[in-house]
Amino acid sequence: MPKRSKFAAAAASGVQRTGADRAALPVAPADPADAVRALVEQLPALDDVREVAEDDDSPLTPVERAQKDTTEHVIEQAAQSANAAVWIVAQALERAAKGRWWRGEYATYDAYVQSKVNRSASYVRRLRSAAPLALETAQATGFTPNEGQAREQRKAEQRFGTRKAVALFGAVVKVAAEVGGTATAARIADVRDALPAELADLDDDQAATVIERTARTVLGVPIGPPADDGGPIGTPGDDGEIVDAELVEDPLDAVRDALRGLRGVNKGFSRATLREVAEHPEYAKLHAGLLSAANAVRNKVAQVPPVERVEAVEG
């Protein structure tokens, strides 16, 4: 149980605070939680939502689509508010820890944290370390990372600095959204681990380009819009155009040859080779062509996974 402060004791005894005991605290115009709770008022009335059978796969009606859009907007706003609240609380507890404002009222900082937010002090310390980056990311990108995302960002911040860690989050959000995905902590970690060590020496603009290209490569999202016919990615009419191979008599031989060819290409040059030509005027086109070709192969193979054979069992 927390100890009663001298201010609490004075209030209980009817003694009025004066001088240094009186803190000029601003009065909040409204309970901030009211703004979050008000989001529920934006939801469509539950009675107005048509109940649909589990086997009903019919297209959404215009009314259903409008209800869906409104509801998803509320979900996004509420989730963003929840994420932001976590980091604001962490920043507040950072100040309480520095000033030891719990002294005289609580026996320990751990007891103070447990009383205020019902969390352990060790958990809050992790939040406190990530809060500045999380809030800067929110300000720069308009999206507030959750705890898992911020944890992976922190590792990037330690390697490359704050600005590049923010750019990492923004790039993964952008690239994943292009294919209907989200910037999960795992995706952020995968892209971060693929970033070159030289990223730390690049300026912000150069780093942003490298980070986005890395995100596209890791997440398998090509540069530019996909072909309308669902075929391989490429730029029609240029030297890097990718055309499907004609059918051959033995498709398995074609796949074997393709794998051997890809392995040969991979061995044909190294990152050191690429770094040597990175400043050449032609490299930008070659770089885009390599990524486009690699993504086209990856997408084609990913669309046709192996089919497990079921062996017949003799009775």
Is 136 a residue whose pLDDT tops 70? yes
Question: What does the alpha-carbon distance between residue 45 and residue 94 come to, in Å, rounded to a whole number?
Answer: 41
Res. 156: pLDDT tops 60: yes
Please say if the pLDDT value at position 3 is more than 90: no
Q: 301, 289, 299, 296: which is closest to 233 by C-alpha?
A: 296
Q: Per-residue confidence at 247, pLDDT binned at 50, 70, 90?
A: very low
pTM of this prediction? Answer: 0.55
- pLDDT for residue 106: 92
205 has pLDDT over 70: yes
* Between 103 and 8, the higher pLDDT residue: 103
Q: Is the pLDDT of residue 13 over 70?
A: no
pLDDT at 255 over 70: yes
Q: Give the sign of the dihedral formed by CA 228, CA 241, CA 251, CA 268.
A: negative
pLDDT tens, position by position, 60-115: 899 999 999 899 888 888 887 888 888 999 999 999 999 999 898 999 999 999 99
Comparing CA positions, the residue from 306, 303, 301, 291 lying closest to residue 218 is: 291
Of the candidates 226, 101, 207, 91, which has an alpha carbon nearest to the alpha carbon of residue 157?
207
Asked if the model's pLDDT at residue 2 lies above 60, the reply is no
* Band of pLDDT at residue 40, cut at 50, 70 and 90: confident
Split at pLDDT 50, 70, 90, the class of 210 is very high
Q: Which two tokens stand for residue 32?
A: 């901030």
Other beta carbons within 10 Å of 207: 22
The pLDDT of residue 199: 93
pLDDT confidence tier of residue 33, bands split at 50, 70 and 90? low
Alpha-carbon dihedral sign for residues 82, 86, 91, 96: positive
pLDDT value of residue 216:
92
Q: Would you state the pLDDT for residue 231?
A: 38
Write out the two tokens for 41.
């008022």
pLDDT tier at 270 (50, 70, 90 boundaries)? confident
Using a 10 angstrom Cβ sphere, with 0-12 exposed, 13-18 middle and 19 or more buried, the burial of residue 167 is buried
Is residue 14's pLDDT more than 50?
no
Does residue 151 have a pLDDT over 70? yes
pLDDT in tens, 216-243: 999 988 765 444 434 333 333 333 333 3
Averaged pLDDT for residues 249-257: 68
Fill in the DSSP letter of residue 230: S
Most confident residue range from 47-51, 66-70, 164-168, 264-268: 164-168
- HSE-up of 310 (CA within 13 Å, CB side)? 1
Question: How much of the chain, in percent, has pLDDT values that exceed 90?
Answer: 37
Domain spans, the chain: 38-48+61-131, 145-221, 233-300
Nearest to 113 by CA among 132, 135, 130, 90: 90
Whole-number pLDDT of residue 32: 60
